[in-house]
Chains A and B, each alone.
Chain A
Amino acid sequence: MGFVGNTLAIVKKDLLLELRAKEAISIMVFLSLLLLVVFNLSVEIDTENVSRLAPGILWVVFAFSGILGMGRTSLSERDDEAYLNIYFSSVTMESFYLAKVISNLLFLLLMEVFTIISFVVLFDYERLILALPALTLPLVLGSFGFSVVGTLFSFLSTGSRFGEIILPFLFLPVVVPILLGGVSSTDIILNGSTGDTPAKWLKILLVFDLLYLCISLILFRYIIEE
């Protein structure tokens, strides 16, 4: 099976675990709904300004809900020291890390679809559904970046007593470029912009995704060994 086979075996196991426990998805979906309701009640949003506010609200919800869910997937390995199966197997740490990134990415995308549908319902903003094909690339690139950074930090923080508290403090400052790229490209797609295209921001997202991926692949081994 090798690298790809091992990676897929771990992803399959993570999906099966999530299907049974429903921990990551339920936490993410619940928080995203909660945040949208809070925004709905606290910010004066009408048909005039919803288009302008939507990108910011959506990406803030993605970031905060996502980080909670990503913490759960690393905890499933820490519980009962299950990660030792992987440590003493043929799986390389790079394969382990990539599998976790893919699992987290799938959970994030699921949460984002739910968040978008909830946003449309709560804010009566149907244009978001129509723009969904164009938003796919920013969503995938942004979520991949979140997953790359979130997976690394979730393993770093689960070793600590205050892991779940530390995680957002580590995660949020590092994902600022991804947040910026996601918000800007979404804004251009939803509102248009004078002479600006999403391509510039998508390139920035791609560069940061690859940069964070390379750094994380190097650091992950040391985090696990610690």
Chain B
Amino acid sequence: MLRLLDISKTYSMRPVLRGVELELKDGEAFVLFGHNGAGKSTLLKIAAGLMSPNTGRVEITTESHSRGGIFYIGHRNGLYNELTVMENIRFFQDISRNRNGKFPLREILLEFGLWQRRNDPVKQLSQGMKRRLSLMKGFISGADILLLDEPFSGLDVRWKEIILERLRGLKKKGVALLMVTHLIKEGLSVADRIGLLENGVLTFQCKKEEITEEEIKEMLRGGVCR
């Protein structure tokens, strides 16, 4: 379980997050929507431990420590561009918390459409392929909590579907997902709960069933706030 308690963050006197409270249970997906600059990425980095809040704290309790704790996939892909696809993933496998688990690399690379390019340097891949490789690391990391910042950027419709299916599979295995995205439809298709972050304040959160895509769009346009 991940709990964010009264999180506030200020960048050079400008408040970015103000008293954000959020709870994420095992096997649950919380999708965070909000305008650019609302503080979504900052919140994710604080949850990942990459940034310290000015006030508040992050509590993480995972039932199975053996599967590892948190894994974060940010805007950048975290790849070594000079190494091949296989070398990148093997290195990740070597240092992964989950290295004792069995990764059928061939199957995973086939599923992510990267098997044919396994011996190519990452620098020769398209943005979408790099993103898929980056997401693949998250899927094989064995983390209990996956933090995803705009995971679908650069992906076409087909790959978005495949990634969404994978994310739903992870949820069933008890992995908690905290995701930031601008893609409402995709976000809703994986979410159990959604939240709206406005100027650093979590102004709204509800279960997925309690809201429609149109209502979220309306809220983001600055319309009715339920």
Partner of A89, one of B79, B82, B83, B95: B95
Cβ–Cβ contact A1 & B99, under 8 A: yes
> Which are the 9 A-B pairs with shortest beta-carbon distances?
A9-B94, A20-B82, A81-B76, A89-B95, A90-B97, A21-B82, A13-B91, A84-B78, A88-B71
- What 1/0 flags go to B116-157 for Cβ under 8 Å of A? 000001000000000000000100010100000000000000
- Interface size on B (CB < 8 Å)? 27
Q: List 18 A-B contacts (CB under 8 A).
A: A5-B94, A6-B95, A9-B94, A13-B91, A17-B82, A21-B82, A76-B80, A79-B81, A80-B81, A81-B74, A84-B76, A84-B78, A85-B91, A85-B95, A88-B48, A88-B72, A88-B141, A89-B97
Residues of B within 8 A of A6 (CB): 94-95
Least CB distance from B93 to A in Å reads: 9
Least CB distance from B125 to A in Å reads: 12
> Is A86 close to B, CB under 8 A?
yes
Instruction: Tell me the A residues contacting B by CB distance below 8 Å.
Output: 1, 5-6, 9-10, 12-13, 16-17, 20-21, 76, 79-82, 84-91
- What 1/0 flags go to B73-107 for Cβ under 8 Å of A? 01011111111000100011011110100000000
Complex-state Cα separation, A91 to B93, whole angstroms: 12
> Is B70 close to A, CB under 8 A?
yes
Complex-state Cα separation, A79 to B68, whole angstroms: 25
Cβ–Cβ contact A20 & B74, under 8 A: no
Residues of A within 8 A of B94 (CB): 1, 5-6, 9
Least CB distance from A22 to B in Å reads: 10
Cβ–Cβ contact B78 & A13, under 8 A: no
Cβ–Cβ contact A91 & B95, under 8 A: yes
Interface secondary structure of A, over-half rule:
helix
Cβ–Cβ contact B76 & A80, under 8 A: yes
Residues of B within 8 A of A84 (CB): 50, 72, 74, 76, 78
Nearest residue in B to A76 (C-beta to C-beta)? Answer: B80
Nearest residue in B to A83 (C-beta to C-beta)? Answer: B78
Residues of B within 8 A of A88 (CB): 48, 70-72, 141, 143
Known: A79-B81, A80-B77, A85-B78. Contact between A16 and B87, CB under 8 A?
Answer: yes
Nearest residue in B to A19 (C-beta to C-beta)? Answer: B82
Residues of B within 8 A of A90 (CB): 68, 95-97, 99
Cβ–Cβ contact B95 & A10, under 8 A: yes
Residues of B within 8 A of A79 (CB): 80-81
Complex-state Cα separation, A81 to B83, whole angstroms: 15
Known: A1-B99, A5-B94, A90-B96. Contact between A85 and B137, CB under 8 A?
Answer: yes
Nearest residue in A to B74 (C-beta to C-beta)? Answer: A81
Residues of B within 8 A of A21 (CB): 82
Complex-state Cα separation, A159 to B48, whole angstroms: 19
Residues of A within 8 A of B143 (CB): 88
Residues of B within 8 A of A5 (CB): 94
Complex-state Cα separation, A87 to B73, whole angstroms: 12
Nearest residue in B to A79 (C-beta to C-beta)? Answer: B81
Complex-state Cα separation, A9 to B94, whole angstroms: 7
Complex-state Cα separation, A6 to B97, whole angstroms: 11
Least CB distance from A223 to B in Å reads: 14
8 A Cβ contacts from B152-205 to A: none
Complex-state Cα separation, A17 to B72, whole angstroms: 24
Known: A16-B87, A81-B74. Contact between A86 and B95, CB under 8 A?
Answer: yes
Q: Name 17 extra pairs, CB < 8 A, besides A17-B83, A82-B80, A90-B97.
A: A12-B91, A13-B91, A16-B83, A17-B80, A20-B121, A79-B80, A80-B79, A80-B81, A82-B79, A84-B78, A85-B91, A87-B50, A88-B48, A88-B70, A88-B71, A88-B141, A89-B97
Complex-state Cα separation, A21 to B72, whole angstroms: 27
Question: Which interface residue of B70, B79, B94 has the most chain A CB atoms within 10 A?
Answer: B94
